[in-house]
Amino acid sequence: TNEDEERIRISQIGRGDLDSTGEDEFDHSADQGKVIEGVFDGENMIGPDGKQYSVPANYASKSKLVEGDILKLVITDRGTFVYKQIGPIERIRAVATLEKDGQGNFLAVADGKKWRVLSASVTYYKGKADDEVVLLIPKTGESKWAAVENIIRDKE
């Protein structure tokens, strides 16, 4: 019956079956949810309407998102948020020292400049105050946030 065929098709999608091109059968296109493009501000995605959309810290950390990166958000019909980096901003590396502020947030400091960094990134690399950190920052303009590329530890 049509209902059985639909159940089988849905179960195959859930398994992430691939078609002959190696592409995922489940197309995350606009007809399967709402698509919003926006700019990463270091913590959130800002949509064209000015709304903030929460970007999971683990995703931002793992993807090494930098303030100014262009993201696409697909909000599926089930309410799931799926982010994808579609336009990385040009970036440079900087070496800084980790500090903690009065609220327990990590900061990276170098040459009189301070950047906020995601705690998820610092904890992933097992960083602590006074460690050296390699940052990714936008090549042009000022930024309040930096992405952690790695932590440099002294051999003890």
Query: Which domains does the chain possess?
Result: 91-152 (2.40.50.140)
Distance between CA atoms of residues 21 and 3, nearest Å: 27
- The pLDDT of 1-7, averaged and rounded, is 46
Q: What is the pLDDT of residues 26-73, one digit of tens each?
A: 444 445 789 999 999 999 999 999 999 999 999 999 999 999 999 999
Is 105 within 8 Å of 119 (Cβ atoms)? yes
DSSP string across 64-83: T--TT-EEEEEEETTS-EEE
Whether the pLDDT of residue 121 is over 50: the answer is yes
Global confidence as pTM? 0.76
